Amino acid sequence: MALIDTYGRRINYLRLSVTDRCNMRCCYCMPAQGVAKLEHKEMLSYEELYRVSAACVEQGIEKIRVTGGEPLVRRGLVDFLGRLSALPGLKELVLTTNGLLLEELARPLKDAGVARLNISLDSLQPETFARITRGADLNRVLAGIDAAQKAGFGPLKINMVVMRGVNDQEILDFAALTLDKPFTVRFIEYMPTLQDEGWGAQSMPGSEILAAIGERYPLLPLVSSEMAGPARNYKIQGAAGAIGIITPVSGHFCESCNRIRITATGRVRGCLFSEQGTDLKPLLASGDPEALGQTLKRIVTQKPGRHHIAEEDAEQAVVNMSRIGG
């Protein structure tokens, strides 16, 4: 079965948020005081997450990215992933993490069948890193990346959200990581999810990031695979790894959007920036797989063509990234 939306886009990628909790408080994702935590009973249980994933796969989802909050803080995750990776019809189980708990969990994640990891890392300077994450320890993330490589994950994707005046002076250091390591380093435009004043001045366009790298290194464009996410990929000539640019603000990639999202509370959402969504909990409680499938189809039908975050008069509500899963 295939899920095709009204714009002819084939939806085969589910971003599944398993928790709203996080062991960091990144300045671009959460307000300084953090966000109100969900009560445990508000979150989908693993059994519900499994049933909902199975319904998605039945409708045509082929790739599931587990996210959060920080997915690795939820207890029992590895066992859940082991079950999920064996779901018939699922082609790829992947995970996005801040890396803080990877040193302990990289090997179990690999054994559970997680195919690839995307790791968020916004600075290679301990103080800048602690400032961005409001207190996290860079060395733990670096140890986590090391453990992931040793566990056999590869190629690792490293996500850097670029913020002018905060970490943009490290763009070349991040690009240089790809010279002798098989990492794909992805530079991401800072999105106005918190609706913070001055976001526009901080968000650096992908073209500027690319130009800065191109001035220092010769870059070759790469072709993306069918199930790929939104990055445009390049390679520094002769480098072991690759470079990706993700431009949700300056050059949205909505026309090739292939995804839906399910939040930790069980709301299915057609678009990161659309508040329209449906609570799947009552459907899960009714135990009617048919109704679940119909609802997923309807969400895909209602999926908006694109976001409007970069338009001056756009009325955009605050997007709770840690609840939705980015």
Ligand X SMILES: C[S@@+](CC[C@H](N)C(=O)[O-])C[C@H]1O[C@@H](n2cnc3c(N)ncnc32)[C@H](O)[C@@H]1O
Report the interface residues with ligand SF4, using CB under 6 A: 22, 24-26, 29-30, 68-70, 98, 120, 252-254, 257, 259, 271-273, 306-307, 321-322
Closest listed residue to residue 91, CA positions, set 67, 57, 117, 119: 57
- Kindly give, in sequence order, each residue whose CB lies less than 8 Å from that of residue 221, ignoring residues fewer than 6 positions away: 232, 233, 234
Choose from ligand GTP, ligand X, ligand SF4, none: what does 30 bind? Cβ within 5-8 Å by kind.
ligand SF4
Q: Tell me how far apart the alpha carbons of residues 305 and 228 are, in angstroms, rounded to a whole number.
A: 19
The helix/strand/coil state of 245 is strand
Choose from ligand X, ligand SF4, ligand GTP, none: what does 232 bind? Cβ within 5-8 Å by kind.
none
**C-beta of 176 vs 272, nearer to ligand SF4:** 272
DSSP structural state of residue 204: P
Q: How many CA within 13 A on the CB side of residue 52?
A: 33
Residue 73 interacts with ligand X (CB under 6 A)? no
Residue 97 interacts with ligand X (CB under 6 A)? yes
Residue 66 interacts with ligand GTP (CB under 6 A)? no
Binding to ligand GTP, residues 214-233 (CB under 6 A): 228-231
Q: Tell me how far apart the alpha carbons of residues 266 and 251 are, in angstroms, rounded to a whole number.
A: 30
- 88 token code pair: 């018939």
**Helix, strand, coil percent content, the chain, rounded in steps of 5:** 35, 20, 45
Q: Tell me how far apart the alpha carbons of residues 141 and 177 are, in angstroms, rounded to a whole number.
A: 15
**C-beta of 21 vs 232, nearer to ligand GTP:** 232
Q: Any known ligand binding at 259?
A: yes
Q: Note every long-range contact of 232-238, with CB atoms under 8 Å and residues 24 or more positions apart, other chains counting.
A: 232/206, 233/184, 234/210, 235/178, 236/175, 236/178, 236/179
Residue 322 interacts with ligand X (CB under 6 A)? yes
Which stretch, 173-181, 188-196, 260-268, 280-288, contacts ligand X (CB under 6 A)? 188-196
Q: Any known ligand binding at 186?
A: no
Which stretch, 77-85, 183-191, 250-258, 259-267, contacts ligand X (CB under 6 A)? 183-191
| Angle between helical axes of 102-112 and 138-150 (0-180°, round to 10) | 30
Q: Tell me how far apart the alpha carbons of residues 67 and 70 are, in angstroms, rounded to a whole number.
A: 7
Site residues (CB under 6 A) for ligand GTP? 65, 67, 96, 118, 157, 159, 188, 228-231, 246, 248, 257, 259, 272, 326
Annotated binding site: 15, 22, 26, 28-29, 65, 69, 96, 120, 157, 191, 254, 257, 259-261, 271
Annotated binding site for GTP: 15, 65, 96, 157, 259-261
Site residues (CB under 6 A) for ligand X? 22, 28-29, 67-68, 70, 96-98, 120, 159, 161, 188, 190-191, 193, 321-322, 325-326
Annotated binding site for [4Fe-4S] cluster: 22, 26, 29, 254, 257, 271
